[in-house]
Amino acid sequence: MINLEIPKKFKPLASQANQVATEVFRPISRKYDEAEHAYPKELDMLASLIDGMNEGSDIGGAGAAGVRREKSDDGSNRNGSNLSTVLGIIELCWGDVGLLLSMPRQGLGNSAIASVATEEQLEKYGGKWAAMAITEPEAGSDSAAIRATAELDGDEYVLNGEKIFVTSGDRADLIVVWASLDRSKGRAAIKSFIVERDNPGLKLDRLEHKLGIRASDTANFTLQDCRVPKEALLGDPEINVQKGFAGAMQTFDNTRPLVAAMAVGVTRAALEETRKRLKKAGVEVDYDKPALSQHAAAARYLEMEADYEAAWLLTLQAAWMADNSKPNSLQASMAKAKAGRTCVDVTLGCVELCGSVGYDENELLEKWARDAKILDIFEGTQQIQLLIVARQLLGKSSSELR
């Protein structure tokens, strides 16, 4: 195995995040898997600590809020914010992905706000916890099919529609809602709006019961004449048919590597645990021998580890490109596709290799196998990532290849 190391300047952050994962997340991992919908109160203190770490750091933070494409004083891109966030997330998800998703102020809405908010919006909404509401009953993979509407009425937008599967929707302070300014103008008219969670026009319908990431709440909402100030619109209020959907979709270039990082973290957790179990059972993994001349379990382990390494490298590449102002849509989708699939395959493979111990609730392997599947679904499913990759490689538009 080629043992590639992360840059030296990121090592303290990765090691702090690993310490949090080991000392805070792992001990309460099973507790909140069982107590679905209970708020993991242990995270409050931790979130304040991470806020402090983000403020004191010049290389970005350990959570989603760390992602902002900033310019240095000389106008060049500030290197390191996406990469450091990805490295922090990998470590924290090695601890528990459901708890990472429940961390105050680290929602995917925070990432959207950090990416495109004006200084005034940052001032107003910075420091708050923001969820992201794109999905609707009739608009999942095809986010251009969004039916929620936003109508300008004086100095306010009036939002109407239904949003489902909103991660942290019940706990966050803000929800970034995608809605159309004019449904006749198609995808170009879809904009995002910051809605305060206590807005009377935003009604919580229910919380989902789930296969995995049970520590994280997933909420469904109705927006009924939900009024927000004009200034709550994120990005350009003009409908630019030429530019189309590109602005809104750019957020994904930042967030897909983060979800890939979650998958990489869970995958590594399962591999490490399995390696220990194999060792206990007398199976040694030998990197100097061809896989096929080793114990079948060791050969399978090596195969899974190779997939993990590929996912890890693609994830780092996508984040590094974002930090260096290189268009990364292709790499972000490649990373998300590879890491999501690898996480599902490897966590189940580890359950298989560890036999009954892998399936037992006394260990975390079975939990990781359940947690893995969502990482191959949200922020764009496996199939959608492959579609995006194919379009980019073949030079086809979304209407030519769907």
Ligand X SMILES: Cc1cc2nc3c(=O)[nH]c(=O)nc-3n(C[C@H](O)[C@H](O)[C@H](O)COP(=O)(O)OP(=O)(O)OC[C@H]3O[C@@H](n4cnc5c(N)ncnc54)[C@H](O)[C@@H]3O)c2cc1C
Site of interaction with ligand X (CB under 6 A): 108, 131-135, 140-141, 165-167, 210, 218, 374, 377-378, 381, 383-384, 387, 402
> Is the Cβ of residue 228 or residue 384 nearer to ligand X in the bound state?
384
What is the distance between the alpha carbons of residues 67 and 322, in angstroms, rounded to a whole number? 10
Q: Does 120 qualify as catalytic in the annotation? A: no
Residue 381 CB, shortest distance to ligand X, in Å, is 3
Residue 273 CB, shortest distance to ligand X, in Å, is 24
Tell me how far the alpha carbon of residue 114 is from its chain's centroid.
14
Residue 390: what residue type? A
Residue 142 CB, shortest distance to ligand X, in Å, is 6
> Is the Cβ of residue 81 or residue 143 nearer to ligand X in the bound state?
143
Token pair belonging to 103: 């961390």
> Is the Cβ of residue 84 or residue 167 nearer to ligand X in the bound state?
167
> Is the Cβ of residue 99 or residue 133 nearer to ligand X in the bound state?
133
Q: Which one of the listed residues 91, 305, 366, 379 is annotated catalytic?
A: 379
Closest CB to ligand X: residue number: 140
Residue 24 CB, shortest distance to ligand X, in Å, is 22
Residue 356 CB, shortest distance to ligand X, in Å, is 28
> Is the Cβ of residue 240 or residue 383 nearer to ligand X in the bound state?
383
Catalytic positions: 379
